[in-house]
Amino acid sequence: MKRRARRRNSSGARLPMFDLRTFRLWFDLLAQTFQSQREALNELDRVIGDGDHGYTLARAFAAADDEITNANPPDIGSLLDVAASALAENAGGAIGPLLAAFFAEGGVVLQNKKTCSMDELAEFFQNGAAAVSELGGARPGQKTLVDALLPAARLLVENRSSADPVDALEKALLAAREGAEATRQMPAVFGRAAFLGERSTGYLDPGAYSFTLIVEGLWFAASGKEGKRTDFQPEETQFVPAGKFINHPEQMVQEDNQGLALAYAGIVRYLEDGFLVRASPKAAGKVGLAIGHGGGHTPSMGGLVGMGLLDADVSGPIFTCASGIKIARAIQLADRGAGVVLLVSNHSGDVLNARMALRRASRMGIAVQPVYLGDDVATAPRSALDKRRGLGGLLFALKIGGAAAEDGQPLFEVVRLMEKTNLRTATLAVAVRAPTHPASGKPLFDLPVGQMEIGTGVHGEAGVYRGAMLPANQVVDLVLQRLLEDLGGLLQQSVVVFLNGSGGTSRMELNILYRRVFYALQEQGIQIAAGVVDSLFTTQEMGGFSLSLCAVDDELEEWWRRPALAAHFRWPVDRICG
């Protein structure tokens, strides 16, 4: 490959190799690369994730490239700040805040700089690696982008005095590739792939591979390879998956939310950029409730915006959490002057973006407290409650905390009630049929006909049992046994039950399942304080359900019985809310 000549000043000293043009070209090339690699990255991600990694990064780097072009930043630090903001805004999920953190460190190191020395580049990568590790909590050997990032940073540090910066970059690229390749033999520790356990080995980590493309792009830019600007063409415009009444899948979440607001205009209002808020805000001086999450689980949180429930909701693209920037805006929209509770379903992307949102909201002067909600007994024992994945049981904390907020209870009391509720909640899910991803048209996971899986996550994460399909009563008995064992001594007098359909399970099936839940609990002397049977948290057309129990005491039961009204939830169900 032809390399750009190194420039020298009048004394013969070598000038910095990397200038503003190099970094501008870098993002031109990244937009082009991730567009061309989109399908391959989607396929790589489909094996151990959602199958949309390529689409996410193609969208995000196209946005970063556009933002840089529009902003025309005067120095490298400003350029990297623009890129970091665009990635945080447009990528979402777990990868968005991680890459934003990496590039933001470059913005600090290269602030007001029009050139970049090898020393500064090494510092950028070294600090970026530390920021990514700190934000995501990942260490080498855990099948993440860190496994490619750290080797690249290490090689740049070791070669910071190199007489040939392009050669040093090539060595860093080879180290990143070697690190990414090593992830094939690693079981995943983070994200949805972690729930596959040993089944995640044998596959390249999409994040690690993507980082090799990022390093490769800088190497190309430094070598003088010219990039051509290419407009982002979402893969969904090329086809529409059969059997889905949609226009363009890339607009699916937006149009879903708009339709919801149009149908229930007296309850929920749609704002530009995808926010859903109460049509009639609660009184000033009361605590607000906000949440950010991924799209594609309709009605999900949008259907729970209303009196006694959420004040503001924002969803990201399909199965990708909204960015921390947007979640911070949702917090702002929910603020009525008494502070805001940010509900966080315990998934890696949700947690990472929530952290970013909390920092931004605090800088806005908003008193905000997060409540991390995890209820899936298949993912961690009760002794490690903070590691449990969030599932349908978060309805209990939302309903009880929302009632307290509507009543005018202070922020600390709303938080206390929600955390107490989460502690007393247990959920287990069952899948019998895989959904298809609306962007790729491919199944999110493989489940042979006639088999079922117990402990499945909302995106098809692996469960605790896979075997032959069983009759409804036997399935319920297996699930109930696990839930009751988990709740143990917390079962004092009664439970609230939530039977949630996964999207492709008929009302007939749900009623048959609930019938067994009712009688099985009755046989064990457990009183049902309240029951909800609905499909509130879905995954497209996935066949299955989740069963959630909340072991309520007098305090929690009292708050549960308070009235609530949203587009897809009302309480009490047997009379008109007053």
Active-site residue (options: 53, 293, 297, 459) = 459
Are residues 446 and 308 located together in one domain of the fold? yes
Do residue 143 and residue 280 come from a single domain?
no
Q: Is residue 243 part of a domain?
A: no
How much is the pLDDT for 199? 60
**Is 53 one of the annotated active-site residues of the chain?**
no
For residues 379 and 482, membership in a common domain is answered with: yes
Residue 11 lies in a domain: no
Is 5 a member of any domain? no
Question: Do 261 and 400 share a domain, yes or no?
Answer: yes
pLDDT at 242: 59
Indicate whether 178 and 35 sit together in one domain: yes
Say if residue 461's pLDDT is above 80. Answer: no
Token digits for 19? Answer: 């200038």
Looking at residue 78, what is its pLDDT? 94
Check whether residue 54 and residue 200 sit in a common domain.
yes
Proportion of the chain above pLDDT 70, given as a percent: 89
Binned at pLDDT 50, 70 and 90, residue 446 comes out as confident
**Residues 226, 305 within the same domain:** no
> Does 327 lie in the same domain as 282?
yes
pLDDT of residue 493: 81
Owner of token pair 């939310």: 257
How many domains does the chain contain in total? 2
In a domain, 237, yes or no: no
197 and 265 inside one domain:
no
pLDDT band at 3 (very low <50, low <70, confident <90, very high): very low
Residue 285: Cβ within 10 Å count: 9
pLDDT at 324 over 90: no
Tokens of 250: 């890339």
Query: What tokens appear for 498 in the block?
Result: 């939530």
pLDDT at position 426 is 98
Identify the band that residue 182 occupies on the pLDDT scale cut at 50, 70 and 90: very high
The answer to whether residues 211 and 180 touch, using CB atoms and an 8 Å cutoff, is yes
Examine the domain organization and report whether 255 and 396 are in the same domain. Answer: yes
Output the pLDDT for position 478: 94
Given a cut of 60, whether residue 564 has pLDDT beyond it is yes
Contact predicate 30/212, CB 8 Å: no
Q: Is the pLDDT of residue 429 over 90?
A: yes
Facing residues of 291 across strands?
313, 343
Q: Domain range holding 439?
A: 249-571
Per-residue pLDDT reduced to its tens digit, 189-232: 766 655 656 666 778 899 999 999 999 999 999 988 765 544 44
Q: Which pLDDT belongs to residue 460? A: 56
Per the document, the length of the chain is 578
Q: Which residues pair with 425 in a beta bridge?
A: 550
- Decide if pLDDT at 532 tops 80: yes
pLDDT tens readout for residues 234-254: 444 455 665 678 888 778 899
CATH of the domain at 154: 1.25.40.340
Q: pLDDT value at position 514? A: 99
Angle made by CA atoms 310, 315, 317, in degrees to the nearest 5: 170
The verdict on residue 521 lying in a domain is yes
Q: Which of 11-20, 109-118, 474-483, 561-570 has the lowest mean pLDDT?
A: 11-20
Residue with the larger pLDDT of the pair 131 and 302: 302
| pTM of this structure | 0.80
Assess if residue 72 is contained within a domain: yes
User: Does some domain include residue 269?
Assistant: yes
Is the domain of 507 the same as that of 563? yes
Place of tokens 């929690």: 556
Asked if the structure places residue 10 within a domain, the reply is no
Look at residue 325 in the predicted model and tell me its pLDDT: 82
Question: What is the per-residue pLDDT for 226?
Answer: 62
Average pLDDT over residues 343-354: 91
CATH code for position 384: 3.40.50.10440
- 347 vs 510 pLDDT, higher one: 510
